[in-house]
Structure 1
C-alpha cells in the first residue's frame, strides 16, 4: 500500500553537471532515516525533463538498490507519448518496480476518451503494473476534472491511486473519493505538502512532497494518524514559510536546504528555475533556522552549522 509520506527524490548532480550516484545513495539514506513510507523517482521535483533515458534508468537502479526493499518505490514514467511512457514502465519493471506514476501527456489534452485510451494503452502494453495517475495543474499538467479521472479509474483497473495536485486539490479529492470504485486504493496529495492538512481531512491517504523536510513531514503525518490534530497543525504552520518559498524556487530551495543539512555537497541544478540571490538565500536560511529544532535527521556537522548561525 502507498500511504503516508512518499517524497519525490531530487536528482543530485556533480559540479560538472553529471549525475551523482553516490549522492543519490545519501538522499535515499536520508529519506529512510527520516522514516518515510516510500520514495518516488523521478518526478517533477527530480528535474525529470532534464534527464536522459539512460540517466533515469541508472538512477532508478541506484534508488532500488539503496532502498533494498525497506519501503515501496514508485517510478515516475510520464513522457510526451504513449510509446515513451510504455518504455519507461518497462524500465521500471526491469528494475524491480511495479508501481509507476504517470501523467497524461499534455499533447492529448483533457478529453475524457483520449485520456482513458492513453491509460488503457499503458495498462494493456505492460500488464502487472500498479499505476498512480498524476493529475498536475496546468501548464505542466493536464488539469483533469474529477469526472474524467473517475472515468479513467473505472475503465482501467490498473490505476490504483490518484495523485491529485490541481489547485485547489481539496474539492477534487472529495469528489474522487465520493465515487471511487473499490479497486482505487486511495488518493495522494501533492503540491509540495502546502495543502496537506486539508487533503488529509478530506481522506487523502498520503502525500508526495519534496525531500528536504522529510522528517518534519513524517512527524506531521504520524501526529495526524494518531489523532493529535493540534500537533499536526503546529508542525504544518511551522513548515509553511519554507514551503511557500519552495513554490518559487523549487529544486533550488530543496537542494540548498539539503546542503544545509549535510546530505548534499552542492546544490547544482539543471532545470531552468529562479536563481537564489543573497536576499532570497538569507530568507530561506532564516526560515530553515526557525524549524531546525524539528529536524531529527541531521549529520553532526550540519547540526553544528545550524547552531552557529
Structure 2
C-alpha cells in the first residue's frame, strides 16, 4: 500500500454448506460480491468470519482461497489473533508470504483468567512488527483486555508497522481522539467497527475508515467518504438512512445478519452457523430482510 487505507473495510463472512462444511466456491462469491459493492479492502478470518469455529487447516485453506481469488483487486487484511505469540508470528509470516496487505490482531487473551500484562501485549505486537507487514490493533470488548491509550500510543510511536487501530470499545470516539492526540502522525489509520453503530461520533473524533460486516458496505461507505470530503450534512443524512439496519444487525442479529442476507440473495447457498451458535428466529430474520429490502441491498440481488 502506498497510501493509508480509508473508507470501508468489511469483514467477509465464512460460508458453510448446510451440513457445516466450508463452502469454498461460496467464499469466492462472497469476495466478488464485496468487491462489486466498491469496498476499499476486505478483512478475512475475523470474529465476524467465525474464526473461532475454524480448524487450523480450514483457516489456512480460506486464507489461500481468499488471497488467490482477490488477486490484488483490493487489499486483503488477514486476522491472526492467538494467545501464543509463536502462532501469531507464524500466521503473520504466512499472510505476508501469500500477499496480504495487512494483519489484524487482538491482544493476547484466553478467557477471563489468561491475559497478558502491558509488557506482554507490547512484546507480542513487537514480534509481529518484526515480520515486516502492516499491523492493525483490534481493541474490542470481546478480549476483556484493557488497552490504555498510552500503551497504544507507545506502540504506534515505537513499532514501525503498528500504525492502524480499530477501536470498538465503549466510548470509542473519546479513545480515538485521545490516541490521535497522543501519537499524531504515527496513527495512519484510526478506524472504528461495531457495524458502524458509532460511526458519526467516531468520524467527529478523527476516524478515517470503518470495519463493518459485509452486510451493506455500498451504503455505509458514502457516510465515510461524504464526511472526509467535507460534506457532513450528506454524511449525517446517509447515516440516518442506514441506522435502522445498522441497529438491527448490531443488537439483534450479530454475525448471522450478513450470511442470512447473502443466502437470500443467492450469493451463498446457506446461512448456516456452526454449533453452538444458533440460527436467528424467524421474527428477527423477517425484520432483517424487510430492512434490507427497503435499502435494496446489492447482496439481495447479486446472485439472481
Is the shorter-chain TM-score for this pair beyond 0.5, marking a shared fold?
Answer: yes
Equivalence for 2:282: 278
- Please, which of 25, 44, 47 is the counterpart of residue 47 of structure 2? 44
Contact 2:163 2:189 in 1 (8 A): yes
Cα deviation code 1:259-306 (max 9, x no counterpart): 2333222101116445322221222222222222xx35653775xxxx
Q: C-alpha distance in 2, partners of 1:224/1:200?
A: 7
Q: C-alpha distance in 2, partners of 1:225/1:123?
A: 29
Cα deviation code 1:174-220 (max 9, x no counterpart): 00001115333121111111111111121111010000111111232
Equivalence for 2:72: 69
Q: C-alpha distance in 1, partners of 2:200/2:275?
A: 29
Q: How does 1:2-17 map to 2 (within 5 A)?
A: 2-17=5-20
Q: C-alpha distance in 2, partners of 1:48/1:135?
A: 17
Q: C-alpha distance in 1, partners of 2:152/2:69?
A: 34
Equivalence for 2:259: 255
- Please, which of 115, 124, 146 is the counterpart of residue 121 of structure 2? 115
Q: How does 1:97-246 map to 2 (within 5 A)?
A: 97-107=100-110, 109=115, 111-124=117-130, 126=131, 128-137=132-141, 139-246=142-249
How many residues are matched? 297
Equivalence for 1:299: 301
Equivalence for 1:27: 30
Q: C-alpha distance in 2, partners of 1:300/1:207?
A: 23
After superposition, the CA RMSD in angstroms is: 2.0
Cα deviation code 1:242-272 (max 9, x no counterpart): 2222223212112111223332221011164
Equivalence for 1:78: 81
Q: Are the structure 2 counterparts of residues 39 and 301 from structure 1 closer, same or farther at C-alpha, using a change threshold of 3 Å? A: closer
Cα deviation code 1:9-62 (max 9, x no counterpart): 010111221111111111111111111000001101000011112211111111
Question: How many angstroms does 1:110 deviate by?
Answer: 6.1
**Most deviating of 49-58 and 31-40:** 49-58
Equivalence for 1:307: none
Q: C-alpha distance in 1, partners of 2:282/2:193?
A: 29
Q: Are the structure 2 counterparts of residues 143 and 238 from structure 1 closer, same or farther at C-alpha, using a change threshold of 3 Å? A: farther
Q: C-alpha distance in 1, partners of 2:137/2:168?
A: 11
- Please, which of 263, 269, 273 is the counterpart of residue 265 of structure 1? 269
Which residues of structure 1 form unaligned runs of 5+? 303-309
Q: TM-score of the superposition, structure 1-length normalised?
A: 0.89
Contact 1:75 1:92 in 2 (8 A): yes
Which residues of structure 2 form unaligned runs of 5+? none
Contact 1:133 1:163 in 2 (8 A): yes
> In structure 2, the residue corresponding to 1:182 is in which secondary structure?
helix
Contact 2:7 2:224 in 1 (8 A): yes
Q: TM-score of the superposition, structure 2-length normalised?
A: 0.91
Q: Are the structure 2 counterparts of residues 182 and 52 from structure 1 closer, same or farther at C-alpha, using a change threshold of 3 Å? A: same
